[in-house]
Chains A and B, each alone.
Chain A
């Protein structure tokens, strides 16, 4: 199987994630779409590690996982604090700041 397939799959996943961020309304789902984007990057990195014959890509994938975990902690804390006040995690409801 051509190694390009992995890159195409990763690009498709990244696009699904990006479109999801733009169209979904629940903050948790939006956040999951961001995680999907990060993981598609991991797939790209590991594939490129194979094509370029270097280890850096695999190493960076580990860094991305750790950073994503830290981001989950901060993100869920913020979304939780909003949810506890408004009883809603919809990004349409956080609309006090505009224009």
Chain B
């Protein structure tokens, strides 16, 4: 056996990843060595430099098509588009994390996570102005893992990236300053179910490796072409899809979603809802299109079924929710189903519109949902955020701006024309119809109609119900949340009216190498 040679790394093509991971690593050092007083501004600046640097790098790299790191990473149009999307969501989430004007305690994150909830020391810390800064390196590591996930051209790298993105998220979920029991419960549930799902992914990896003798996506495709399917390969593929669908919160692997979305700090929920979904679907697209693109018959029925179940579960169970965060979680499950209709639209010989449509939908859905969760942080009562539906009754009289923005975001989630939700849904449904999957689109339209009911119910409640005398107060957002709301609202409107430029960008970026 010869000596092991180091694989060549294309550092330029990997610069978006290096920015984010660099910011995370430096953030850990800052946490260790910088005095407490300066940590918060330094960490926020560092995380923003990492994410915005990564965004600029993906824009400069546009058009690159390269397989690097010994075939383990593919830097292509799809990877760069999704990495750029994740970087945008990351920057907006970091701004939400850094909001200090809304909560009287000046931060949404617990000051010292190791102090037991409800203890004397914990009650002292609730009102202290001490601020948690470890969330920024954690978020940067999670972002780095997500960006690696979308570029992984190898099942092993995909598994490592899955864990790099998941482990910091488990911790972030448990760090709420108020309602700590709920937050910790969310972390436990997310962790146990996430570890369970990644074990399935790993077993799928092992079976695919046994069937093909390699974990590289291109080698799996070649082996599938020459040797046909084989039970082992199909079984392995199904287990891999289960692991990924869990992360994408597709029903029936969605059970963690409502609990975790409700319990986690709202800024973290926004981050998970927007960025994790992009990363998970990036990996789904790469796995199905690159490794199993020539064996479409193996995964089409599976994805078809999952899309139907997810759309219906998200739409129907969302109707019964009384908590806004839970309702948005079910909305996220329904949207995962809509995204899968785009995944179906692969088209014969890779000619389909599905890849571009799914990428565009991920961008529009993420921006809208970030805006909606950002608004949830503003409406508060003495106990923290007021997320129960009844507390939002008559909000339009108390705060017309917040009510109008919320109504706009909810209409976008429902897919009403002139919002980005409509153009995104139109794109994925078109992709599915062009590929002959019209029954799926019919079910999608029915699910949209059902889901529209619960979005509109909130709008009606805000505008046409009398306000309760002891209703919640609406906080005045500081600069970071204002920026997030402005960007997400503007993007939701512009992508709804003039989506052409971004759709063209997604279409030209719809390239998968490897």
CB-based contact A41/B202 at 8 Å? yes
Q: Within the complex, which residue of A7, A30, A64, A98 is in contact with B192, where a contact is CB–CB below 8 Å?
A: A30
Complex Cα–Cα for A18 and B242 (A): 14
Q: Would you give the shortest CB distance from B332 to chain A, in whole angstroms?
A: 16
CB-based contact A71/B163 at 8 Å? yes
Would you call B262 an interface residue if the criterion is a C-beta within 8 Å of the partner chain's C-beta atoms?
yes
- The interface centre, meaning the residue of B191, B206, B210, B215 with most chain A CB atoms within 10 A of its CB, is B206
CB-based contact A96/B192 at 8 Å? no
Give the chain B neighbours of A63 by CB distance below 8 A: 156, 159-160
Q: Would you give the shortest CB distance from B161 to chain A, in whole angstroms?
A: 11
Give the chain A neighbours of B206 by CB distance below 8 A: 41, 44-45, 48, 57, 60
Would you call B102 an interface residue if the criterion is a C-beta within 8 Å of the partner chain's C-beta atoms?
no
Would you call B434 an interface residue if the criterion is a C-beta within 8 Å of the partner chain's C-beta atoms?
no
- The interface centre, meaning the residue of B186, B203, B258 with most chain A CB atoms within 10 A of its CB, is B203
Q: Would you give the shortest CB distance from A40 to chain B, in whole angstroms?
A: 8
CB-based contact A74/B259 at 8 Å? no
Would you call B181 an interface residue if the criterion is a C-beta within 8 Å of the partner chain's C-beta atoms?
yes
Q: Would you give the shortest CB distance from A35 to chain B, in whole angstroms?
A: 9
Q: A51-B210, A67-B159, A71-B167 are in contact. Are A91 and B191 (CB under 8 A)?
A: no
CB-based contact A45/B209 at 8 Å? yes
CB-based contact A75/B191 at 8 Å? yes
CB-based contact B160/A27 at 8 Å? no
Q: Would you give the shortest CB distance from B333 to chain A, in whole angstroms?
A: 15
Q: A44-B203, A63-B160, A64-B202 are in contact. Are A84 and B192 (CB under 8 A)?
A: no
Tally the A-B contacts, defined by beta carbons under 8 Å: 127
Give the chain B neighbours of A7 by CB distance below 8 A: 210
Q: A64-B202, A71-B167 are in contact. Are A94 and B185 (CB under 8 A)?
A: yes
Give the chain B neighbours of A94 by CB distance below 8 A: 184-185, 188-189
Interface segment, one of B111-119, B410-418, B421-429: B111-119
- List CB contacts (< 8 Å) of A70-85 with chain B: 70-71, 74-75, 77-79, 81-82, 84-85
Q: Would you give the shortest CB distance from B186 to chain A, in whole angstroms?
A: 7
- List CB contacts (< 8 Å) of A53-68 with chain B: 53-54, 56-57, 60, 63-64, 67
CB-based contact B188/A44 at 8 Å? no
Would you call B187 an interface residue if the criterion is a C-beta within 8 Å of the partner chain's C-beta atoms?
yes
CB-based contact A78/B188 at 8 Å? yes
Would you call B11 an interface residue if the criterion is a C-beta within 8 Å of the partner chain's C-beta atoms?
no
Binding site for B on A (CB under 8 A): 7, 14, 17-18, 21, 27, 30-31, 34, 37-38, 40-41, 44-45, 47-48, 51-54, 56-57, 60, 63-64, 67, 70-71, 74-75, 77-79, 81-82, 84-86, 91, 94-99
Binding site for A on B (CB under 8 A): 113-114, 116-118, 156, 159-160, 163, 167, 170-171, 174, 180-182, 184-189, 191-192, 195-196, 199, 202-203, 205-207, 209-210, 213-215, 258-259, 262-263, 320
What are the nearest 10 A-B pairs in CB distance? A48-B210, A52-B213, A37-B199, A44-B206, A97-B259, A84-B116, A94-B185, A85-B117, A34-B195, A41-B202
Give 12 CB contacts A-B under 8 Å: A18-B199, A21-B196, A34-B196, A38-B202, A47-B210, A56-B209, A70-B167, A75-B170, A78-B171, A79-B188, A84-B116, A94-B188
12 further interface pairs, Cβ-Cβ under 8 Å (given A38-B199, A85-B180, A95-B185): A21-B196, A30-B192, A60-B209, A67-B159, A70-B167, A71-B195, A78-B171, A78-B174, A78-B184, A78-B188, A85-B117, A97-B189
